[in-house]
Amino acid sequence: MSRISRWCIVIVPVVVLVILAFLEGTREATPQELPVKRWEFKQDLERSVGLLRGGLIFVGKLDEDGTFVFDPSKTPLDPKEMEAAKLDVPIINVPQTEPIRKNHDGVYVTVTPPESVMEFRSGWLIRGKLTAEGDFVPDAYGKVTEFRSQWTGPGGVRIYNLPGRFVEVPDPKKPDQPWWR
């Protein structure tokens, strides 16, 4: 056997392994290999929130059923006075949609379109819409679903009166790493 053929027997498998290792490192992970983000619900009944009713903002908290409980020590405010009063609470029942301008006989009016949301009621979710006045209007023949404490992630329909928040939980199983990394 010549010297060149002996080197080929040694070098070719090493080069093939290096190329395979490189290709393994550059390929995209399959959905089964990607880390799955999990979210769990953490109840927070101490968070202050604002609720728009009759043109005034009432401050209070949400109970475990998602019902607003008014704080009598806080005076209801006009929305224009909130900044001056240095009140930094989220107003939960105001649509988070972009206002649009409509032409009504030559006069442009700014209108806030309703937002599609879910309402939390005693462990159940009701699909509906939030109006600019802060009213929840359930969808006719809307689906009522049971609330689950685990969630797949952001991007879904907002639950406007959820008494808490979802926090990300680390994935207990990490994808296996190849031996060369």
Q: When comparing pLDDT for 152 and 47, which is higher?
A: 47
Position 92 scores a pLDDT of: 92
Which pair of tokens denotes residue 123? 């462990």
pLDDT score for 153: 66
Tell me if the pTM is above 0.75. no
Q: Is 142 helix (H, G, I), strand (E, B) or coil?
A: coil
**Within a domain: 145:** yes
Domain membership of residue 139 (yes or no) is: yes
Supply φ then ψ for residue 12, to 5 degrees. Answer: -60, -50
What average pLDDT is seen over the chain? 80
Classify residue 79 by its DSSP letter.
Answer: G
Spatial CB neighbours of 44, under 8 Å, sequence gap ≥ 6: 163, 164, 165
Q: Dihedral sign, CA of 42, 83, 133, 63?
A: positive
HSE of 100, CA atoms in CB hemisphere, 13 A: 7
For range 102-125, the mean pLDDT: 84
Return the number of other C-beta atoms located less than 10 Å from residue 130's C-beta: 24
* Residue 163 domain flag: yes
Instruction: Output the DSSP codes for 67-88.
Output: -EEE-TTS--B-GGGTTTTT--
Query: Which DSSP symbol is given to 4?
Result: H
Whole-angstrom distance, CA of residue 161 vs CA of residue 135: 12
Range of the domain at 126: 38-169
pLDDT for the residue 136:
94
- Residue 65 has a pLDDT of 93
Query: In this predicted model, which residue has the larger pLDDT, 112 or 153?
Result: 112
Average pLDDT over residues 105-120: 84
Report pLDDT for 84. Answer: 65
Report the alpha-carbon distance of residue 18 to residue 104 in Å, rounded. 70
Residue 179 reports pLDDT greater than 60: no
d(C-alpha 104, C-alpha 106), whole Å? 6
Q: Is residue 74 part of a domain?
A: yes
C-alpha 100, offset from chain centre = 24
Q: Is residue 24 part of a domain?
A: no
- With bands split at pLDDT 50, 70 and 90, how would you rate the model's confidence at 10? low
- Asked, for residue 18, whether it belongs to a domain, the answer is no
Residue 3 lies in a domain: no
Spatial contact of 160 and 125, defined as CB atoms under 8 Å apart: no
Give pLDDT tens digits for 13-57: 777 776 766 666 655 655 555 556 778 889 999 999 999 998 899
Look at the chain and report how many structural domains it folds into. Answer: 1
